Amino acid sequence: MASEIQVLQGMDTLAYVRLLENEKTERGQLIPYQTSLSFEPQRDTDTTKTKSGTVSTTSALETDLEVEFVNNISKVSDDLYESLFKNKKIEVWVVYRKRKNSQGQYYAWYMRGIVSDDSNDNDPDDNSTRDVTFTIDGEPQKGWLTLPDEAEEELAYVFRGMGVVSDSDQTGQGVAWAAKDRGIGADATPTGKA
């Protein structure tokens, strides 16, 4: 019996970026509040008809990468402007959060380039949005990467208890629900009391 083919959802495909000059001092950062990500590697082809049949030619690989997001005040959104205005190289990772290898690493594309266009829309009755286009150098590379622990927290907050949150206890004495918790628990009312 053939295994079931899994579908990848757009919601689980995310872009992370970092100015190349900061590779030794910071990790790649999630572009906050992404609404759309378009990753389009392409190669133009042409054919010439000859008396012996058609002969095809191909051009160099080009990669279109575009990310739309709700405009925000963050280091990442400022770094995107820095790449555009100062012509600074930027690293980009397109990460598929639902595709993992046996080591628990995520499937991803890695690219380098610059921000070549940053369109900002500011309608009076809506959130400010940005549409950023990257010009990618060479061929994108695919592989597997490890997301830092705080990556999940960037996407959705995690369960916390009501205790004090500190450097030594980030959960406030809470424990997140796990599948093994199904059917676990007891009536909180002590026996023999109403």
Task: Flag whether 23 is in a domain.
Answer: yes
Q: How far apart are CA 118 and CA 130, in angstroms?
A: 7
Lowest mean pLDDT among 1-5, 21-25, 129-133, 184-188: 184-188
Quick check: is 193 in a domain? no
Provide the CATH number for the domain around residue 116: 2.30.110
pTM metric for this prediction: 0.75
Q: What is the pLDDT of residues 64-107, one digit of tens each?
A: 999 999 999 999 999 999 999 999 999 999 999 889 899 989 89
Strands 13-19 and 129-136: what pairing? unpaired
Q: Is residue 26 part of a domain?
A: yes
Is 182 within the bounds of a domain? no
Would you say 79 and 90 are in contact if contact means Cβ atoms under 8 Å apart?
yes
- pLDDT, residue 123, reads 92
Give the pLDDT mean for 102-127: 93
Assess whether pLDDT exceeds 90 at residue 52.
no
Evaluate if residue 190 carries a pLDDT over 80. no
Does residue 192 have a pLDDT over 60? Answer: no
| Mean pLDDT for the chain overall | 86
Query: What is the per-residue DSSP string for 119-136?
Result: EEE--TTS--EEEEEEEE
Q: Is 83 domain-assigned? A: yes
Find the domain containing 111 and state its range. 10-44+57-158
Classify residue 133: in a domain, yes or no.
yes
Domain count, the chain: 1
DSSP for residue 163: S
13 or 57, higher pLDDT? 13
